[in-house]
Amino acid sequence: MSEKFANPVLVIVDHVGNETEGFTLTEPSKHLLKVARTLTDSDVWALALNPSPQMGALGECGVSKVFVPDLAGRSPRVSAVVAECAIAATEIQPPAPISAILCLSNYRGREVASILGAHFESGAATDVTALAVKDGQLVAHKSVLGGQWETTFTIPRGLPIAAVRPGAGQAPEVKPVATPGVVPLNVRFSSVTDAISVISSEELHAEGPTLTEAAVVVCAGYGTDGDLDAVNDLAEKLGAAVGATRTVCDEGWLPRTAQIGQTGVSVAPKLYISAGVSGAVHHTCGIAGAERIVAIVDDEEAPIVQIADLSIIGDLQEIIPAALAELG
C-alpha cells in the first residue's frame, strides 16, 4: 500500500458559468480532487472562487470542507487573488496543518503555484503528470525535454505546492460526502491584487465535448495531411472530442486549443483513437491516462503501435469511412 499524508490536502478548484446561470465544477477539477484523495488518509478540502460552488459535485468527489472567500469585487481570474485566498485558508484551519496544496496546471494555476511556493518558502511543481507520497514528502513526476524524459522530484521543506496537468494522475472512485462543510473566508487582500483588473471575459463555446471532459477522443495527426473530414465524421458519430498533435496545430489545421501532449493538454478518456499519429513521446505523454488506445496509422513501426491496445495499419482515409459504414 502506498504511503499517504496524515493531514488534509487543499485543492483549488475551477468552475465555469456565472451567477445568473449557475456555476459548474469542471471535469479536470473533479479529476484532481480524486487524485488528491489518493494522497491523504485525512480529508480533501476545496477552495472555490465563486459565491455558489456546485456543492453536490464537490461532495461526490469526496470533499469534506469548502472554503468560499468573499472576493470583494475582485476577479478570480487574477492569480494574486486566488493565491491570497489559498493563504487565508491555511491560516484559519484547525491545529492539523494542510499537507499540500494542489491546483490545475493552466495559465492561472502555474502562476498561482509559483506565488504560493514563494510565500511559503517551499517550492512549486508545475505541469505535474503524477503525484505520490514517500517518506512523508510529496513526490512529483514531470515530463521534460519535449517528453523524452520523465523527472521525479520532491519539495523537501515547507508546504508543497503542485500544479497538475488536466487529466493527469490516477483518479479512483471515492466515497462521496453527503454534505460538505462550508467555511466563509474574509480575506485581507494586499494592494497586489488591485494591480490587474479584468475588463471583460467571454466563455468560448465549442461544439461537442471538450478534450479534458470527453469520454472519447479522436486525435488528428500529421498523417491526415490536413484533410480532417474523416476525423470529424468519426468524432461526430462517436460523440467524441477532436484533438490534435503539435504538428497539426503548427500547420494551422486545428487550433492550438486542440493540442494534446507535452505542450498541450493531457486527456484521460475511456477511448482514444488516433488517426495518422506517429506517436512521438511529446504527444503520448498526454494520453497516458486513456483507458483504451486505438491507432490508425500507415506505418506498422510507428511508436504509437507499441502502446496501442489495437492498431489498424493502412490508409486512414479508407479505414475510417469503412468503420463508419459498419457503425451505420
Q: What is the pLDDT of residues 100-157, one digit of tens each?
A: 999 998 889 999 999 999 999 998 999 898 899 999 999 999 877 655 677 898 988 8
Q: What is the pLDDT of residues 39-90, one digit of tens each?
A: 999 999 999 998 888 888 999 999 999 999 998 888 888 999 999 999 999 9
pLDDT above 60: residue 95: no
As a whole number of angstroms, the longest Cα–Cα distance in the chain is: 64
Binding-site positions: 245-246, 259-263, 276-283
Q: What is the pLDDT of residues 255-302, one digit of tens each?
A: 988 999 877 888 888 899 999 999 998 898 888 778 899 999 999 999
Domains assigned to the chain: 9-194 (3.40.50.620), 216-327 (3.40.50.1220)
The stretches of the chain forming alpha helices (DSSP H) are 27-37, 55-60, 79-91, 107-119, 229-238, 246-250, 281-284, 303-307, 316-327
Binding-site positions for FAD: 245-246, 259-263, 276-283
Cα separations in angstroms, 18 against 54, 58, 81, 124: 12, 17, 18, 30
Residue 242: which of 205, 216, 278 has the closest Cα? Answer: 216
Strand ranges for the chain from DSSP E:
9-13, 15-18, 22-25, 44-48, 63-70, 100-104, 123-128, 130-134, 137-144, 149-154, 160-164, 181-186, 216-220, 241-244, 271-275, 292-297, 310-313
Quick one: average pLDDT of 228-253?
Answer: 95
| Cβ neighbours, 10 Å, residue 14 | 23
pTM of the model: 0.78
Q: What is the pLDDT of residues 207-239, one digit of tens each?
A: 667 887 788 999 999 999 999 999 999 999 999
